[in-house]
Structure 1
Amino acid sequence: MASTKPVRRAAALQRPRPVDRFEEAAALYGIPHWGKGFFHVNDEGDLVVRPTRQPGREVSLKHIVDEVAMRGITAPMMIRFPQILSACVRNLNEAFARAIGEFGYGNVYRGVFPIKVNQKRVVVEQVIEAGRQHNYGLEAGSKPELLAALAADLPAESLITCNGYKDEAFIRMALNGVRMKKKVVLVLEKVSELDRILSAAKMRGVKPLLGMRAKLYARGSGKWAKSGGEAAKFGLTTPEMLEAVKILKSKRMLDSLVMLHFHIGSQITDIRKIKVAIREAGRVYAKLRAAGVPIQYLNLGGGLGVDYDGSKTAFESSMNYSVQEYANDVVYTIKAICEEEKAPPPILVTESGRAVTAYHSVLVANVLDVADKIDQGRRVRVSPTDPPVLQELADIQDTVNAKNMRESYHDALQYKEELFTLFNLGHLSLEDRAKGETIFWNICERIHRDLKTLKEIPEEFEDMETMLADKYVVNFSVFQSLPDSWAIDQLFPILPIHRLNERPTEFGTLADITCDSDGRIEKFIDLRDIKETLPLHRFRDDEPYFLAFCLTGAYQDVLGDLHNLFGEAHEVLVTVDDEGRSRVEDVLPGESCERVLEYMNYDRTQILDSISRQLRRVANRPVKKDEIRAIYREFEAVFPRYTYLER
């Protein structure tokens, strides 16, 4: 997909097609394409999750929401499925095992999970346990991450790779990890790190395990393409790698250099870019081996993508390859180069985090309100005494049809401009303006209904659906729970968790509850384009309506911020047993008002003391003392409350 610019088609401008069966509901939201067998719709019209991909072993997200509500846990909530984490870890390791067997590769695969993708302890521990039989390891890029990695109960053959810039404390920790008989590899990002590492190792009498990050010429694709190439932030150039080898030779420590590492970016969308990088890295490895450098591991870094929109293309929210194809290309290419260069095949390492964690968590949030431009069924009466501009608009409203819609729309736009001009000049009242706006949107709604009779949509009507879209106000913060949607326009699958056996009659965009105009979602996944609206059901004031934001397990937990001091959402851990019974394993309450205030150095006692002093100043003028006590108690009661809106 060459462009992210939406291309509007006639079908996209129609209201969503009626849904009679759950298969059609699943197709409407693309579930078979992006769900990877984990997500389905049941006969009741609920979105269900199959953590093991097995039919019958599924759980309704709506049932989970209802169950935890009885414990006082309300939306928004992050629902996690540890079994999906396990399935994704197995899928990656088994893909490499199959490729190694198929091509007769003469070594093994040792993956590591980059903690930065999701540092939540429950996530890291589940990844470790799922990868235990595969000697799956961890990657750390900071002192806190390295502490977590060293504390983990990893198998003896598992790697801990250390990337990023390092200070003395970081280096000492890594070396102490080696003394603990762990395979901790310090990857050089710049040559100047080498002297500090060797000096610290000598002082402790420990032989370090070293790697070099190569700055390849090859670049990735998608949003993170600039992570690779000659202008990349990290890595050693070819002269710098040779300099590091020379230094190690001079100190008779060349055998400490055990890993060659590269990384050309996250979410690589095009398999061709990966193949180019693998070939280049394979040649670098073979040449270093020929020069006497005893490298054992070839670390291909991250980049294994996630097909967020299900299109299976090189579009930035997709990927045009499978995990198995990725593993096959890595194994086959490195094997061929090693045979040609007569180099021993290295142990293969990847740092794939997104593909391992993305699917395991779903954010569920409730709709609070709907702001719509069209008051369904409202008819505005215009009298002969009303201003001429209103009479002209009313005449268009009465006469617009499929044959004259273009002319009628042009005239309506002209009179709309005239309406605002006259109002700004003081010639119209607020009531006049309200009438004119209502009539204009009624005209647009009638035109929109007639557009579906056309084979091709005239250019001037391409934005009609977006103009008429309702705004669904959702009880969450984009900045806290879906930061990549705001920061880099990342697309995520979004759909209702229930009522999927009903016909979605509305189309809308989403707004969060922050006081920021960027707190909205106006781009949605589609197999062919980016959709500007989402098919939704009519919101009923007396009935909760929940939306699921899927594939949020990678980066969203750790990149979220406290905009408007909306904190982390509740977390709910769910499993499904062999008989298909679901179980809520744990509930972690979301952050309270007191907790987020503490982040900003506000103290509960100081706040209440300040409020108390101010209340005393107004005692009996005009607030009575008993009312002051009641007011104080109300303030006091807010501190343990959830930061999100409660009903």
Structure 2
Amino acid sequence: MWTIEDSVDLYGIEGWGNDYFAINGRGNLAISPRKEVGGSVDVMEIVEGINRSEAIQFPILFRFPQILEDRLEEINGAFLSSIEELEYPGGYRLVFPMKVNQRREVVGYIVEGGRRLKVGMEVGTKAELLAALSLGLDPEALIICNGYKDKDYLNLALSFSEANNIIIVIDIFEEIFDVLRCSKELSATPRLGLRTKLFSRGSGRWEESGGELSKFGLSTAEILESIRILSENGMIDQLKMLHFHIGSQITDIRKIKIAMNEAARIYSKVRKVADVEYFNVGGGLSVDYDGSQTPTSASANYTLQEYSNDVVYTLQRTCDEEQVPCPTIVSESGRAIAAYHSFLAFKVIGKKNSKDGLDVLADDDDPVQIEDMRQALENMDLENYAEFYHDALHYREELFDAFNLGNIGLEERSKGDLLFWRVCQKAATFADADENDSEEFESLKKLLSKKYIGNFSLFQSVPDMWGVQQLFPTMPLHRLGEEPTVRGTIADITCDSDGEIRRFAGEKSDFLALHNLRDDEDYYLGTFLLGAYQDTLGDFHNLLGCVNEVHIIVKDGGWRISKVVEGDDCEKLLRFFNYEPEEGLHEMVERSCVGEEARARVTETIRKALREYSYFKDRYLREESPASGGDGPRS
């Protein structure tokens, strides 16, 4: 008998959920924004409440601001615990890199949730700097200016440096001359940092962004030359930070240790000639997207506490060896802060699979291969399924040859196809019972999986899944006390074959275990850990825009909606791409319609469509065939 624990294992939720996500006794997804401290909420209670109100349509991006606050406190707490345990004499400062998620609501939650911790911001452009300056950060919170910098960027940073804790990091060597020039023109005294380009590299998908070929950073020769130039210009005392970054989503703790050792040694040498206060380890703290706790590209083989322990220990040991003061540690762990706080909930609106659902009637004129295929289907059992499956492959190939030679018609080919897939399905069922996990039958099971159609756009809501094949956990939001008997992948509603979720966390990575659809009930799926990068990388493929957002606060055993952000309607999307729908409306109606009544009706239809959400409103599409019960027509 299927249990909730079976679903926990199947979808790997204990591995990737980080104690924020679980399955409750009702078989529904539950979310605990403060983990064991602040209680949990049944996601389907929220879904049912939204459906009753009829005010918000799916797909919906759910945000849980309290998870952001919890992440800030957990990361800060891990470093403070390491500092206390190892008796490290320096401090720690947490900084959020705005490029991870620039949404005003998200950054606002981080600022408010991290105010007690004096959480700062890392910016990489003029626009991000302007955004950071508008947030009302604590005066002691760091604003770290990275990225390529023109004169306007530098002037902006220098103009606010007196009232804000701004550090301008030299990312490429030539910038030091621009900083000196702009500082002189404005009579400003900047606080500076140097970004070092390490020989060491990270691991995982973004490994190539670190090391000697990285886009940013100074070589050791350029660091020495920069120190000389600052000294000659009387500004060596303004060098306050050494920064390095070996890549996002570092999956292997050994790579972190190696990079830390190299960077700590560089800091120690620089500290002997300059009063450097901050040692900035950059980002890279990994998020375990598949829950495997391995050094694969979607996971990590270390914990947050192990990470902070290694950073603190390595830096302290090196400083002691070099006899230099220990600096304040700064980290920019944006992915680890933001990823968990949001997920996409969407309805399944149909399914597609041409390999089932059709009956085949016998005919005396059928080719011998069709009768052989029928006999294989009827006589297959646990002992002979592999043999009959191989026979069916041979029969099908003979039918294709006969069709290509013009010896049989389309109807006979169709019958052969349908019978072949029936044989395949029965063989796969016996392979499951036989625990046959050979490559041949695993490939067959994948081939037989269904495509459930989800009312969402992969390109808009989960762009990294399409762009860099990153894995994001996806699973049903309910019915988790029932055994899922359907193998499937999830296709979105775009007109692009790449718009499909094909990799999943949990036991079976090539398909998702799903439940049969019911005519009287919506079926909801969720894709999780979307808070980092996905909000700002979204692609308006097929003019499908930003989805509706609902922000949820969990408190005192209940929940409330704290904020609703409406998604894009069709008119907004058209105007974003420089269409003027009202201008062409009158001409289009005049050209297409005869009579005032027809014109008025079509005009209202168009105006209504312009105001509509860009996603589907219907509960679900018809299945492949119009027959009731999904059995399809007879052939």
Normalising by structure 1, what TM-score?
0.93
- Distance between the aligned counterparts of 1:125 and 1:110, measured in 2? 18
- Distance between the aligned counterparts of 1:81 and 1:296, measured in 2? 35
Quick one: structure 1 residues 27 and 156, their matched pair in 2 at CA, closer, same or farther if it must change by over 3 Å? Answer: same
Please say which of residues 128-137 and 582-591 is displaced more in the overlay. Answer: 128-137
1:129 aligns with one of 112, 118, 128: 112
Residue of structure 2 in register with 1:232 after alignment: 214
1:38-437 equivalent positions in 2, closer than 5 A: 38-54=20-36, 57-69=39-51, 70-179=53-162, 181-290=163-272, 292-375=273-356, 379-437=359-417
Q: Structure 1 residue 173: deviation in Å?
A: 1.1
- Distance between the aligned counterparts of 2:18 and 2:179, measured in 1? 44
Asked whether the equivalents of residues 38 and 554 of structure 2 are also in contact (C-alpha less than 8 Å), the reply is no
Q: Match of 1:212, SS? A: strand
Residue of structure 2 in register with 1:545 after alignment: 523
1:591-627 Cα offsets, whole Å, 9 max, x none, are 1111111111001212313323323xx52xxxx4412
The residue type equivalent to 1:601 in the other structure is: N
The residue type equivalent to 1:98 in the other structure is: S
Matched positions, count: 617
Q: Match of 2:552, SS? A: strand
The residue type equivalent to 2:237 in the other structure is: D
Asked whether the equivalents of residues 611 and 632 of structure 1 are also in contact (C-alpha less than 8 Å), the reply is no
Asked whether the equivalents of residues 159 and 185 of structure 1 are also in contact (C-alpha less than 8 Å), the reply is yes
- Distance between the aligned counterparts of 1:493 and 1:460, measured in 2? 26
Asked whether the equivalents of residues 76 and 363 of structure 1 are also in contact (C-alpha less than 8 Å), the reply is yes
Residue of structure 2 in register with 1:639 after alignment: 610
Q: Structure 1 residue 309: deviation in Å?
A: 1.1
- Distance between the aligned counterparts of 1:608 and 1:118, measured in 2? 37
Q: Structure 1 residue 373: deviation in Å?
A: 4.0
Residue of structure 1 in register with 2:625 after alignment: none
The residue type equivalent to 2:518 in the other structure is: R
1:375-409 Cα offsets, whole Å, 9 max, x none, are 35x54222221123322222222222222222222
Q: Structure 1 residue 537: deviation in Å?
A: 0.4
Asked whether the equivalents of residues 65 and 74 of structure 1 are also in contact (C-alpha less than 8 Å), the reply is no
Quick one: structure 1 residues 262 and 581, their matched pair in 2 at CA, closer, same or farther if it must change by over 3 Å? Answer: same
Residue of structure 2 in register with 1:601 after alignment: 578
- Distance between the aligned counterparts of 1:608 and 1:503, measured in 2? 51
Q: Match of 2:360, SS? A: coil
The residue type equivalent to 1:132 in the other structure is: R
Residue of structure 1 in register with 2:532 after alignment: 554
Residue of structure 2 in register with 1:590 after alignment: 567
Residue of structure 2 in register with 1:10 after alignment: none
Residue of structure 2 in register with 1:510 after alignment: 490
1:447 aligns with 2:447: no
- Distance between the aligned counterparts of 1:414 and 1:256, measured in 2? 78
Residue of structure 1 in register with 2:623 after alignment: none
Q: Structure 1 residue 446: deviation in Å?
A: 1.0
Indicate the RMSD between aligned Cα atoms, in angstroms. Answer: 1.6
- Distance between the aligned counterparts of 2:407 and 2:102, measured in 1? 61
Identity of aligned residues (%): 44
Asked whether the equivalents of residues 113 and 139 of structure 1 are also in contact (C-alpha less than 8 Å), the reply is yes
Quick one: structure 1 residues 56 and 235, their matched pair in 2 at CA, closer, same or farther if it must change by over 3 Å? Answer: closer
1:630 aligns with one of 574, 578, 601: 601
Quick one: structure 1 residues 55 and 197, their matched pair in 2 at CA, closer, same or farther if it must change by over 3 Å? Answer: closer
Question: Structure 2: which 5+ runs fail to align?
Answer: 619-635
Residue of structure 2 in register with 1:570 after alignment: 548
- Distance between the aligned counterparts of 1:163 and 1:416, measured in 2? 62
1:235-279 Cα offsets, whole Å, 9 max, x none, are 111111111111111111111111110000000001110011111
- Distance between the aligned counterparts of 1:267 and 1:444, measured in 2? 40
The residue type equivalent to 2:539 in the other structure is: D
Residue of structure 1 in register with 2:481 after alignment: 501
- Distance between the aligned counterparts of 2:143 and 2:20, measured in 1? 30
1:503-541 Cα offsets, whole Å, 9 max, x none, are 2111111101100010011111136xx611111100123
1:460-494 Cα offsets, whole Å, 9 max, x none, are 22301101101101011111001111111111111
Q: Match of 1:363, SS? A: strand
Asked whether the equivalents of residues 511 and 520 of structure 1 are also in contact (C-alpha less than 8 Å), the reply is yes
- Distance between the aligned counterparts of 1:48 and 1:460, measured in 2? 38
- Distance between the aligned counterparts of 1:142 and 1:408, measured in 2? 64
Please say which of residues 423-432 and 240-249 is displaced more in the overlay. Answer: 423-432
- Distance between the aligned counterparts of 2:466 and 2:613, measured in 1? 23
Q: Structure 1 residue 429: deviation in Å?
A: 3.2
- Distance between the aligned counterparts of 1:327 and 1:120, measured in 2? 28
Q: Structure 1 residue 55: deviation in Å?
A: 7.1
